[in-house]
Amino acid sequence: MSNNFKMLATTLFGFEPLLERELLKLGAMDIKPGIRNVSFVGDLGFMYKANLSLRTAMSILKPVHRFKFHTEDEFYEQMLKFNWLDLMDVDKSFMISATIHQSIFSNSLFVAQRSKDAVVDHFRNKIGKRPNVSTDEPQMIFNVHINKNTCTLSIDSSGDKLFKRGYRTATNIAPINEVLAAGLLLHSGWDGQSDFMDPMCGSGTILIEAAMIACQIPPNLNRKSFGFMHWQDWDEDLYEVIMNSVLKKIRPFHFKIKGIDKAPSAVRKAQDNVDKANLSEFITIHHDDFFSTSKEDDRALFMLFNPPYGNRLDVNTELFYKTLGQVLKGNYKNTKVSFITTDDDAPKFLELKGSKPIKVFNGGIEAKLYQFMVH
């Protein structure tokens, strides 16, 4: 057990059960769900595997220091005396983010600034040199979490947020976050055992995440770097072993994944992203208006999409959903339909019976995932 340590995977609101299941399947120990996070225990290799493999995690944090304080000066002194040289070299650029809850501090930016001052002062006092602060591309990212008078300092093993998969170079209007797309797919029950369609595919994020789930491809396979690659205990050989082990779990896919969009620019962007993700053999993109299409065969079809809604794109809600319902009932029998919207009234215009919606957040906007079966 001496090589194991506690970690915290952060996620979007409502995705905690999904992340808990992912961690369990991956082999994590001592899993405990929180609010927008799940804590777990594993070793260095598992940390690498978690960053490569988790679809619904935003970042993987490793707590390294915890202390209590009662004043602003005491907070600074505690941060100053922590041995930062054990975590980073002076030639590494760094950034500190902060979150506060019921604290004497009222401003998280102030906490981050005082923390940064403490790090710089620590290095200057110890070795006469200071590390550079960078908000653009920091090599080391630290997280300060304050709850009342307790501070937890963590080091971010992910670096850039994990929704930055590395495959999306082009986006359309109101693109969907990759972690949100993966979570919606998992919430809706997508398992890769049927044909799949996104009828309003935009830049193709849902299609790509669907293909990676279907083939069990690690979602962050295309990323060039992670935060842990700048750590003092970075083990490139171990990372290669872990990478090879997750690649062995990739499985074949025997169905079709199809995307449609009526905007030629969206089709081009989606195709570019699919190519970048190396998934062209599984995904086809077509320029078409979904409302004038019909199903190609009688096989079961799984459909998930992010339709236009009021605060995203201008749309006549009643007309849009009535037409959508007519097309689904007339042309898409034997189809499971799932979509996300912020409009609670919109789904009733479909005139389809659905299951209880699931609350999610799209870029801080409260939305719901609706699911229907078209027989």
DSSP state of 122: H
Percent of the chain with pLDDT over 70: 97
pLDDT reading at 61 higher than 90: yes
pLDDT reading at 310 higher than 60: no
E-strand stretches of the chain: 5-10, 29-33, 37-42, 59-68, 94-101, 140-147, 150-156, 195-198, 257-261, 283-287, 301-305, 335-341, 358-362, 365-374
Report pLDDT for 39. Answer: 98
Which residues are 7's β-sheet partners? 40
Mean pLDDT (whole number) for 314-338: 93
With beta carbons less than 8 A apart as the criterion, state whether 371 and 338 touch.
Answer: yes
In whole angstroms, give the CA distance from residue 209 to residue 215. Answer: 10
Other C-beta atoms lying within 10 Å of the C-beta of residue 52: 21
Q: The whole model's pTM is what?
A: 0.94
Q: Quick one: pLDDT band at residue 175, thresholds 50, 70, 90?
A: confident
In whole angstroms, give the CA distance from residue 360 to residue 46. Answer: 28
For the chain, domains (ranges, CATH) are 5-156 (3.30.2130.30), 178-217+252-374 (3.40.50.150)
Q: Quick one: pLDDT band at residue 34, thresholds 50, 70, 90?
A: very high
Report pLDDT for 169. Answer: 76
Q: Pick the range with the lowest mean pLDDT from 6-20, 29-43, 187-201, 312-326.
A: 312-326
Report pLDDT for 316. Answer: 85
- Which alpha helices (H) appear in 82-215, and where do they start and end? 108-127, 178-187, 205-215
Q: In what order do the strands lie in the sheet with 257-261?
A: 283-287, 257-261, 195-198, 301-305, 335-341, 365-374, 358-362
Q: Quick one: pLDDT band at residue 1, thresholds 50, 70, 90?
A: very low
